[in-house]
């Protein structure tokens, strides 16, 4: 019955939009910006270049302009405005814990969402917002927002192109590109934030008023006729959301070259280096991570409408932790990857994409010793265009051969039909999987304070089937744009904790087993309403019915209802503007670790305000407040950031 009632959501949004004033056909402003956004090139959904307005796979794009005009200081904060993402308990701070983040009912840190940077699979440790060490965590805050060009989000099954982990979708963070002309940008911000709540052991924070700041600089431009390059640096620091204030910082250095070696050959090479550290002198808690990444991409145009692409990268993470609860931990983990992809036009109406990929994962930690996993993959996809491009059908399939977990075939079929200039319907069905991590299959016993967790080498990959259908409709010369999607996902062989009944060193013993199944269905709706000139209203709503199919209990950390709204304005001369944001999440079930924990996190609302002014040529002053009314996150077993203030000054010359 809830699904039936929520089918009225798009109708309600349409009715509300008809009551709002709209500009005439010749008005400029945010409406024109939206039309330009529809002409942006995206690549993640099909691994081929497509206009956003014409991509046949449901894709959400966050542009550089939207990043600059938002309150967000992290990728997690940006994703709060995307229906289906639940980051309501994620703090907007470098190094804060992100283990409660979910998308479509499934946990982000547990790798149900595949995270890419510039199209390449990445892992991350504490420095990106996760709670698990040694590169086994998987969160989204791996790149500072000041260095991001755009973010592409493809929701739905993604294993047909990307393999393991793309169960609920793919998040591709694309860093800033070298410019044609010399450009220099720099800036920084300083602010404070309050902390509240308590951790799962019942500890409440001390010194609740804390600071944060960041600074960055980048230079970009031509080095010679055929070479463009850029180098950037970012520094972030804060006092964290532990019970006591910590010293936490992250330094991020990134450089890249774009070389046109011939008319039909372009090389892109880059490197980055991250240092993350946090420490507390009183407790002796000290953690440090260093993470270099190197990559090389080559695009070779064999002939008109035929292209060959080669990608290779290497990523490493070294961790050295001294933790008063968990003891000393060290880790050396890495990815090595190479991929060759061919894209070509065949029989006029077909665009075929085929590729092979080799991925080698290496783990050497205090609890996982010298573990190596190799996956060899092949994939093929056909974009079949009919009715002068109004109907596009995309069948695809990928084969993965994992030397530990065996072989997986993952097919997918997508289709888009444009039944008007501003009307599109998109649908897809596909199979995805998630291979178990070495942390739960090969680790030595792990002490979780109140229990031991033993590994299980016999775990199978988790498998899912998802189908979804969505409608996108524009009204009033695209001054109102509505979209709604219904999806259904069934997951089997879900991995969860299981009690063994044993006692070891005085504590109960748990392990992991393929013991659960889940059914997740929901509706995601959004509306972009360009009221007049440069004034826009952006709304999104998500209903998520995520349940354990065996017990009919709701999955943890997932609200049934969430709603976000943003009203933004840019001055006619683009010399001032601002935004007001509102977010609401209904109650969420918690995973109980200790008797002091609450079974539910109560409904939560938050209001943010952001005002900016161009003070000099190329310079912008921004003042922002998050959680304006210092709303309490009641029932959560995390220490959270409450009201926060930030003042920024940014330049681009």
Whether the pLDDT of residue 25 is over 90: the answer is no
Which DSSP helix (H) or strand (E) runs through 369?
none
Distances, alpha carbon 559 to alpha carbons 111, 168, 588, in Å: 19, 16, 5
Q: Percent of the chain, pLDDT > 90? A: 52
Whether the pLDDT of residue 11 is over 50: the answer is no
CA 184 to chain centroid, in Å, comes to 28
Give the pLDDT of residue 129. Answer: 41
Please, which residues have CB within 8 angstroms of residue 595's CB and are 6 or more apart in sequence? none
Whether the pLDDT of residue 137 is over 70: the answer is no
Give the pLDDT of residue 326. Answer: 66
pLDDT band, very low/low/confident/very high, at 206 (cuts 50, 70, 90)? confident
pLDDT band, very low/low/confident/very high, at 1 (cuts 50, 70, 90)? very low
Q: Domain span at residue 297?
A: 2-652
Give the pLDDT of residue 554. Answer: 92
CA distance 396 to 43: 16
DSSP state of 476: T
> Averaged over 148-166, what is the pLDDT?
94
- Burial label for 49, CB within 10 Å (0-12, 13-18, 19+), is exposed
Average pLDDT, the chain: 86
Q: Residues 289, 273: contact at Cβ < 8 Å?
A: no
Distances, alpha carbon 7 to alpha carbons 57, 242, 277, 481, in Å: 22, 42, 47, 17
pLDDT band, very low/low/confident/very high, at 15 (cuts 50, 70, 90)? very low
Q: How many domains does the chain have?
A: 1
Span 602-634, pLDDT tens digits: 999 999 999 999 888 888 999 999 999 999 988
Give the pLDDT of residue 135. Answer: 39
Give the pLDDT of residue 573. Answer: 66
Backbone angles phi, psi at 523, to 5 degrees: -125, 135
> Averaged over 14-32, what is the pLDDT?
41
CA distance 613 to 406: 57
Whether the pLDDT of residue 111 is over 90: the answer is no
Q: How many CA atoms lie within 13 A of 246 on its CB side?
A: 23
Q: Which two tokens stand for residue 106?
A: 């499934």
Whether the pLDDT of residue 132 is over 90: the answer is no
pLDDT band, very low/low/confident/very high, at 27 (cuts 50, 70, 90)? very low
Give the pLDDT of residue 21. Answer: 36
pLDDT band, very low/low/confident/very high, at 52 (cuts 50, 70, 90)? confident
Whether the pLDDT of residue 125 is over 90: the answer is no
Higher pLDDT, 452 or 213: 213
Whether the pLDDT of residue 19 is over 60: the answer is no
Span 515-574, pLDDT tens digits: 889 999 999 999 999 887 788 999 999 999 999 998 899 998 999 999 999 999 887 666
Span 369-410, pLDDT tens digits: 778 889 999 999 999 999 988 999 999 999 999 998 889 999
pLDDT band, very low/low/confident/very high, at 421 (cuts 50, 70, 90)? confident
Please, which residues have CB within 8 angstroms of residue 138's CB and are 6 or more apart in sequence? 108, 109, 110, 111, 113, 115, 123, 124, 130, 165
Q: Percent of the chain, pLDDT > 70? A: 89
Angle at 135 between CA 129 and CA 140, to 5 degrees: 35
3-class DSSP assignment, residue 160: helix
Read off the CATH number of the domain in which 191 is found.
2.40.170.20
Give the pLDDT of residue 133. Answer: 38
> Averaged over 75-100, what is the pLDDT?
82
């Amino acid at each position: 019955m809830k699904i039936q009632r929520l089918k009225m959501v798009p109708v309600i949004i349409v009715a509300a939009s008809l009551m709002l004033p709209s500009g005439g056909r010749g008005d400029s402003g945010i409406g024109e910006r939206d039309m330009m956004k529809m002409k942006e090139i995206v690549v993640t959904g099909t691994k081929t270049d497509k206009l956003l307005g014409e991509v046949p796979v449901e894709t959400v794009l966050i542009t550089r302009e939207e990043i600059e005009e938002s309150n967000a200081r992290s990728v997690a904060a940006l994703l709060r405005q995307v229906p289906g993402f639940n980051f309501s308990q994620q703090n907007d701070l470098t190094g804060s814990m992100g283990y409660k983040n979910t998308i479509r009912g499934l946990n982000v840190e547990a790798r149900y969402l595949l995270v890419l940077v510039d199209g390449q699979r990445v892992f991350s440790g504490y420095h990106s917002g996760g709670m698990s060490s040694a590169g086994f965590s998987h969160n989204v805050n791996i790149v500072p927002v000041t260095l991001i060009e755009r973010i592409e989000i493809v929701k739905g099954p993604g294993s047909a192109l990307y393999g393991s982990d793309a169960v609920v979708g793919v998040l591709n963070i694309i860093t800033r590109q070298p410019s044609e002309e010399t450009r220099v940008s720099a800036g920084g911000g300083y602010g404070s934030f309050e902390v509240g709540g308590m951790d799962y052991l019942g500890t409440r924070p001390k010194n609740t008023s804390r600071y944060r700041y960041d600074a960055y600089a980048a230079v970009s431009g031509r080095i010679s006729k055929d070479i463009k390059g850029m180098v950037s640096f970012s520094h972030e620091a804060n006092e964290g959301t532990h019970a006591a204030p910590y010293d936490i910082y992250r330094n991020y250095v990134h450089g890249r070259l774009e070389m046109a070696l011939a008319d039909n050959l372009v090389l892109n090479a880059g490197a980055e280096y991250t240092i993350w550290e946090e420490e507390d002198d009183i407790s002796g808690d000290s953690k440090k991570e260093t993470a270099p990444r190197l990559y090389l991409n080559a695009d070779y145009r064999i002939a008109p409408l035929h292209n060959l692409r080669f990608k290779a990268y290497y990523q490493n993470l070294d961790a050295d932790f001294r933790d008063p609860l968990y003891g000393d931990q060290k880790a050396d983990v890495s990815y090595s990857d190479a991929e060759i992809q061919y894209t070509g036009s065949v029989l006029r109406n077909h665009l075929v994409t085929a590729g092979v990929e080799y991925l080698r994962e290496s783990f050497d930690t205090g609890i996982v010793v010298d573990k190596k996993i190799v996956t060899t993959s092949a994939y093929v996809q056909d974009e079949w265009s009919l009715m002068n491009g109004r109907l596009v059908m995309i069948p695809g399939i990928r084969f993965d051969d994992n030397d530990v977990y065996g072989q997986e075939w993952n097919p997918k079929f997508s289709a888009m039909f444009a039944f008007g200039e501003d009307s599109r319907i998109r649908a897809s069905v596909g199979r995805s999987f998630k291979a178990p991590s070495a942390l739960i299959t090969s680790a030595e016993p792990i002490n979780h304070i109140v229990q031991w967790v033993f590994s299980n080498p016999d775990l199978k990959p988790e498998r899912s089937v998802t189908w979804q259908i969505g409608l996108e409709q524009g009204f009033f010369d695209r001054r109102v744009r509505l979209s709604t999607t219904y999806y259904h996902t069934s997951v089997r062989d879900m991995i969860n904790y299981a009690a063994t009944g044993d006692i070891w060193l005085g504590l109960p013993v748990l392990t992991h087993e393929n013991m659960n199944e889940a059914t997740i269905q929901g509706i995601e709706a959004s509306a972009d309403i360009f009221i007049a000139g440069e004034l826009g209203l952006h709304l999104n709503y998500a209903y998520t019915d995520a349940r354990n199919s065996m017990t009919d209990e709701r999955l943890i950390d997932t609200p049934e209802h969430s709603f976000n709204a943003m009203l933004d304005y840019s001055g006619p001369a683009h010399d001032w503007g601002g935004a007001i944001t509102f977010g609401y999440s209904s109650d969420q079930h918690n995973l109980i670790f200790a008797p002091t924990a609450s079974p539910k996190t109560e409904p939560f609302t938050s209001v943010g305000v952001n005002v900016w002014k161009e003070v000099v040529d190329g310079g912008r002053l921004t003042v922002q407040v998050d959680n304006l009314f210092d709303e309490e996150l009641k029932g959560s077993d995390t220490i959270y950031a409450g009201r926060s203030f930030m003042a920024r000054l940014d330049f681009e010359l």
